[in-house]
Amino acid sequence: MEFSNRNVQPQAASPGAHTTATGSSSGGNSIGTIKKNRSDDEGKWTRIGLVVLAAAIAILLIFLIIFITKAGSSADEDKYVDSKKLQAVFLNTGQVYFGNIKTLNSKYFVVSNIYYLQTSGGNAASGGTNTNTNVSLVKLGCELHKPDDQMVINRAQVTFWENLHDNGQVAKAVVAFEKQNPQGQNCADQSSSASTNSTNNVQKAGNNNGSSTTPSTTNGGGSTTTPNTPAKP
């Protein structure tokens, strides 16, 4: 019995078990590394996608703002300006300017070759109720402050504007003035002519017991006034 027990040797641990355990540990680390790299890649592409999306939205908003701005402005209004005709620009103050619109946008109008209407009236004759009223078309430039023949008008002050026909009174008066003053208006002549017409109008107002008012067109360089027709007794 004792002999048999001595022959029994303890068995060494199987090397395969150690290898298997080591292999299992190494394989687990590899899988964890792969998952971590994959997660990092996904996070990276997600961030790139968000940046691209934000940039696309920003570009879209910029184009939208530009479109709205143009739609709300007078970008297309200038196509209605007929460069071969005069334009009338009506302001919210009641003043009207005639000339050529050179620039038109949402902020301002630029007008050149400017004319405007001027009304003058004499005092009523003693014992009478009628007045002598004259309407004249004046060329800008000979006023006290001597402005250039160009005006920049605030867009907010313009109520509306329109093109003028060539056969209208204003257009005809402008053509006549340009023919009479090929070198441009002479402010000295205009001043003396206006003074003479003013004196004549006062005398007519005093002499006429009753008169009918006849509008007249006065050109800046050499004023011509249509006299009023005395009323029949």
Could you report the per-residue pLDDT of 153-192, keeping only the tens digit for each?
A: 999 999 999 999 999 999 999 999 999 999 888 887 655 5
Is 225 in contact with 143 (CB distance < 8 Å)?
no
- pLDDT recorded at residue 39: 75
Give 30-50 pLDDT, tens digit per residue: 666 676 677 777 788 888 989
Q: How far apart are CA 157 and CA 107, in angstroms?
A: 10
pTM, two decimal places = 0.52
Buried b vs exposed e over 14-34: b needs ≥16 C-beta within 10 Å?
A: eeeeeeeeeeeeeeeeeeeee
Question: Whole-angstrom Cα distance, residue 186 to residue 151?
Answer: 20
Mean pLDDT value of segment 196-205: 44
- Beta-carbon contacts of residue 170 (< 8 Å; ≥ 6 apart): 86, 88, 98, 115, 137, 164, 217
Q: How far apart are CA 149 and CA 113, in angstroms?
A: 6
Q: Would you give the distance in Å from CA 12 to the centre of its chain?
A: 98
CB 87 within 8 A of CB 99: yes
Per-residue buried b or exposed e for 135-147, using 16+ beta carbons within 10 Å of the residue's own CB:
bbbbbbbbeeeee
The tokens describing 199, both together, are 């004196």
Reported as a single tens digit per residue, the pLDDT across 63-82 is 888 777 665 555 688 899 99
